[in-house]
Structure 1
């Protein structure tokens, strides 16, 4: 299409030049002889040629314009539509570029935030692991201390039992000494009518009777007034089981005999 247009332009120019030469030399009768050369006539002829060429150009242009008006309208419409579409595409491209940049910025922010959270979580996990390790060590130490204390307790238990037995024995000795001191301090020579034959009580033989006399117990009335504490002290002093005194009912027999 472009080659045809260029060819038409070249033909139009050649045609205009040929017509100008023909008009100058044939119609106007101009000559190149300096003797007959007329500048004014030549100038007028050139102006006339220019006007005729311009008029032919305008006529041809207008004819071509009206002949191609529909095509020009279509081209113009397509051109403006393409320009409008181009602008829309440029606007869309700028919007997409801005959106892309925004997404990239958001991606960078999210990546940074994710890395920060990962670092914080890793640090937290390390702290938990360290705490768990410390707790495990403390538990192991606690178990070792507990086992050690149990061993020491097992070692001390027999000693504690032995000490308890010794304390009980010492308490008994103290009570016995207190009773003996009290008996000695309260010991008096009884009257003959105050002395009872303690062997009449079942469970008291001559030997026990003599020990009771030595302890200051010489009458049925005294035995009838025995309480639990006194029975325990007399039993320990005589190396006699207190339940034996209760089973033989020394107190009840003494009450009957003292009436």
Structure 2
């Protein structure tokens, strides 16, 4: 077992629970009702407010503000929480807020994500695994992000939007509608789809046949000039031959906001 190491200038409130191997850097603050998993590193000048549950092997590099109250006028001090998984890297000046009662009560972040400097994740966001949020990427409240999503620098996502797995959001893009899985979005006023995330899919082991089918689905949805109803019918025909197209179709069917088109 590795000891917990707390810098003499750090403050750890009574009630905080730190597992074996946790380190807390200079001038950092750990609030009551915070649970931190084994071997997680809290760098200097960080603040972690509870209720918050943080898994093992995470790295908070410095000056991160984690678990702060939701920036929501309806919040009245009720118990809401932040849940972070394992092996995430959180860089300088990242801010992550707790949830709200109206949004399910929790902000949740999965495993193996990279949140680069000045990223902001607002209340009630649900983040999957293996995502990369580049500098100054910003999520408003209630955003849902699937696995393997990349948000480039200065990208912003409107509240209640969903971003499907393997999507790529380009630098400076402002997203105000749902982004289907596999799609690449680029800036042009409010952003519009600009093809599939071809390179990202190759890196994750998608073979040529899978990528070709996803391209066919993208063309049916965005290029062929179909109405959304016509595109839906075409995707339904294709879904029988492809789990990826079925995932795309399920994503479209489950949304509350308009599809980004």
Shorter-chain TM-score above 0.5: no
Q: Which has the higher strand share?
A: 2
Compare CA radii of gyration and give the structure with the larger one: 1
TM-score range, shorter chain: under 0.3
Q: Which has the higher helix share?
A: 1
Q: What TM-score results when the alignment is normalised by the length of structure 2?
A: 0.17
Q: What TM-score results when the alignment is normalised by the length of structure 1?
A: 0.17
